[in-house]
A and B are shown apart, each in its own frame.
Chain A
Amino acid sequence: MSTIAASSPGARPARPSRRLALWQATALPLALLVAWQLWALTLPENTRAPYPSKVLATFFSLTASGDLPAALVQSLGRVLAGFGVALVLGVALGVAMGSSRALRDNLDPVIESFRPIAPMAVLPIAILWFGTGTPAALAIVSYAAFFPLLVNTVHGVSRVDRKLMQAAQTMGVPRWRILRHVLLPAALPSVLLGARLAMGVAWTAIIAAELAVGAKAGGGTSGGIGQMMFVYYAYSVDLNAIVVCMVVVGVVALAIDRLFRLAEHRLMPWRH
């Protein structure tokens, strides 16, 4: 953030330079928004082209009608449920693979051959097996979130300092308590990193899945924010509403990431 302060240590107090950095970060986006709005003024009255003031107005009307909040809740609910499934499976398998070299050597080829298959490539099968509703969406989200969680948990667990576990053994600590009180806390930084990455891809996957499922479900506000975008694209061709959805998706992704960083801070006070 404070690049100015870092480049000239002690020369300037930190506060003005931080304000400068904030200004530098927002100046260009603001200028682009203004340019976009000015350009829109030259367009005819009935244009379909989106522009800032119209997007903002659409955002307020979609929020007031309850459509946007309902869709957001729907999508977030699916992400959380799918993430939960992936968390349990990914961490459980990750701990097992991380602590057993034999298991790791056996399962690694299978995991590595599935990992490059994008969540969207699994969608056709998910729809055929689970239909176009929540179960299919959950399957996609879980699939997407599973791999970052698994890979990072395996990495974290396999790198835990053996001395720590030996120390616990010499204090008469039983095996399962070593797992709970040494192995897991020691691997926590990696697991949390995996969780943050997993949540990011889960959110990406749910939007894409809902977009793809949208056509079959035939619209409606209960289909989540991805399906809402599909409806505005395929039925009403409302570009302003689509932009609203895009911005909301981006802001939510950012908020999720920040929440995870906050959680990391709270759960690992020894790292700060």
Chain B
Amino acid sequence: MNTSSQPAAQPKLRLRGVSKQFLAARATTPTLAVAGFDLEVAAGEFVCIVGPSGCGKSTVLNMVAGLDAPSAGSIEMDGRAVTGPGADRGVMFQDYALMPWQTVAENIGFGLAHGTPGQGLSAAQREARVREHIELVGLTGSERKYPHQLSGGMRQRVALARLLANGPEILLLDEPLGALDAQTRLILQVELLRIWGETRPRSERKTAIFITHDIEEAVFLGDRVVVMSSHPGRIKADIAIDLPRPRRESVRAEARFGELADRIWGLIRDEAYRAIDGRVEANEPSKEETTA
């Protein structure tokens, strides 16, 4: 389907020369978390960003969300500069960030009740939209429960429903499946693709940026996988995932899936080993690699 990783003429999202410096506590010199980050994402594209922990993946996402300002470079959405957070870029946080004092239905309707997505909607329309999204993620019957009464997988569904109910144009997903057990994770990956609109034509899909440290997850979900290196966070490779959609569980058994996953692992293994233990050296040195 979309074997090309070259985005269309007017990208949905464009990051140019983005870098981010932090002044850590008790540090005298600022640390460079992200440097020279260039990325273009086409409308309807699902881009996964992988990299070792601490490589600045989340920093990039926060800057696109408008929660953090870049120290240098520009971020544009539809050709207009991103200056702050907005409901056109919805975020799903790693730990879900659900309001503990609100029920499932109230959490899903939070943006509709208090934010710009609910403007111009009647109470009945908002309620209908909440209901629709409760059904979409399969939470019917749990509307009145509080987050602490839910399992990790259910909380993740609430966060996803809340994200989608606000109707964002870009989905920013920060390791949303990270806290789940392996089985739940596999099930929700398939479900996420369905909800994203895998079976619909590309023009009807949302644009998504998905952060993960799980290589197989990235290959399974993405149209492209952007591999990052750390200290500072840079793009090491940008790999097109030419697996057909819709993707079934069986795609994991295909040779092409294994090839792609191996190639990405080859790109980050050195740093992954170093992150675990500075003394352990990977067997083979990896080559700097850039495609696209």
A181, B147: Cα distance in complex, Å? 17
Q: Which of B89, B90, B101, B110 has the most CB of A within 10 A?
A: B101
Q: Does B87 contact A (CB under 8 A)?
A: yes
A174, B90: Cα distance in complex, Å? 15
Residue ID in chain A nearest B168 by CB atoms:
A170
Asked if A170 and B85 sit within 8 Å, CB to CB, the answer is yes
Q: Does B99 contact A (CB under 8 A)?
A: yes
A169, B99: Cα distance in complex, Å? 13
Asked if B116 and A172 sit within 8 Å, CB to CB, the answer is yes
From A167, A268, A269, give the contact of B93 (CB < 8 A).
Answer: A167
Q: Which residues of B contact A (CB under 8 A)?
A: 65-67, 84-87, 89-91, 93, 95, 97, 99-102, 110-111, 114-117, 146-148, 162, 166
Asked if A167 and B101 sit within 8 Å, CB to CB, the answer is no
Q: Does A235 contact B (CB under 8 A)?
A: no
- What count of chain A residues pass the 8 Å CB interface test? 21
Asked if B101 and A168 sit within 8 Å, CB to CB, the answer is no
Q: Does A88 contact B (CB under 8 A)?
A: no
Q: Which residues of A contact B (CB under 8 A)?
A: 161, 163-164, 166-174, 177, 181-182, 185-186, 188, 268-270
Asked if B91 and A168 sit within 8 Å, CB to CB, the answer is no
Mostly helix, strand, loop or mixed at chain B's interface?
A: loop
Asked if A268 and B115 sit within 8 Å, CB to CB, the answer is no
Asked if B146 and A270 sit within 8 Å, CB to CB, the answer is yes
CB of B232 to closest CB in A, whole Å: 23
CB of B83 to closest CB in A, whole Å: 13
Find chain B residues with CB under 8 A from A268 CB.
101
Find chain A residues with CB under 8 A from B87 CB.
170-172
Residue ID in chain A nearest B165 by CB atoms:
A171
- Given contact pairs A172-B85, A172-B86, A172-B115, enumerate 6 new A-B contacts (beta carbons under 8 Å): A166-B67, A170-B67, A170-B91, A171-B162, A173-B111, A270-B147
A161, B147: Cα distance in complex, Å? 15
Residue ID in chain B nearest A171 by CB atoms:
B111
Find chain A residues with CB under 8 A from B84 CB.
169
From B65, B95, B115, give the contact of A168 (CB < 8 A).
Answer: B115
Asked if B90 and A270 sit within 8 Å, CB to CB, the answer is no
A188, B101: Cα distance in complex, Å? 10
A167, B97: Cα distance in complex, Å? 7
Asked if B110 and A186 sit within 8 Å, CB to CB, the answer is no
Asked if A177 and B114 sit within 8 Å, CB to CB, the answer is yes
Can you report 14 A-B residue pairs in the complex whose CB atoms are below 8 A from each other? Answer: A166-B65, A166-B67, A170-B66, A171-B90, A171-B116, A171-B166, A172-B115, A173-B110, A173-B115, A174-B115, A177-B114, A185-B99, A186-B99, A186-B101
Mostly helix, strand, loop or mixed at chain A's interface?
A: helix
From A164, A166, A170, give the contact of B99 (CB < 8 A).
Answer: A164
Asked if A181 and B65 sit within 8 Å, CB to CB, the answer is no
Q: Which of A161, A164, A166 has the most CB of B within 10 A?
A: A166
CB of B68 to closest CB in A, whole Å: 10
Beyond A166-B85, A172-B86, is A161–B114 a contact (Cβ under 8 Å)? Answer: no
Find chain A residues with CB under 8 A from B166 CB.
171-172
Find chain B residues with CB under 8 A from A270 CB.
100-102, 146-148
A157, B95: Cα distance in complex, Å? 20
A167, B110: Cα distance in complex, Å? 10
Q: Which of A181, A186, A268 has the most CB of B within 10 A?
A: A181
Residue ID in chain B nearest A269 by CB atoms:
B146
Find chain B residues with CB under 8 A from A269 CB.
146
Asked if B85 and A163 sit within 8 Å, CB to CB, the answer is no
Residue ID in chain A nearest B84 by CB atoms:
A169
Asked if B110 and A185 sit within 8 Å, CB to CB, the answer is no
CB of B158 to closest CB in A, whole Å: 12
Residue ID in chain A nearest B110 by CB atoms:
A171
Find chain B residues with CB under 8 A from A177 CB.
114-115
Asked if B65 and A173 sit within 8 Å, CB to CB, the answer is no
From A172, A174, A181, A188, give the contact of B117 (CB < 8 A).
Answer: A172
Beyond A169-B67, A170-B87, is A163–B93 a contact (Cβ under 8 Å)? Answer: yes
Beyond A166-B67, A170-B90, A173-B111, is A185–B85 a contact (Cβ under 8 Å)? Answer: no
CB of A153 to closest CB in B, whole Å: 17
Residue ID in chain A nearest B95 by CB atoms:
A163
Q: Which of A166, A170, A181, A270 has the most CB of B within 10 A?
A: A170
Find chain A residues with CB under 8 A from B111 CB.
171-173
Find chain A residues with CB under 8 A from B90 CB.
170-171
Find chain A residues with CB under 8 A from B101 CB.
185-186, 188, 268, 270
Asked if B114 and A173 sit within 8 Å, CB to CB, the answer is yes
Find chain A residues with CB under 8 A from B116 CB.
171-173
Asked if B86 and A164 sit within 8 Å, CB to CB, the answer is no
A32, B198: Cα distance in complex, Å? 78
Q: Which of B99, B110, B111 has the most CB of A within 10 A?
A: B99
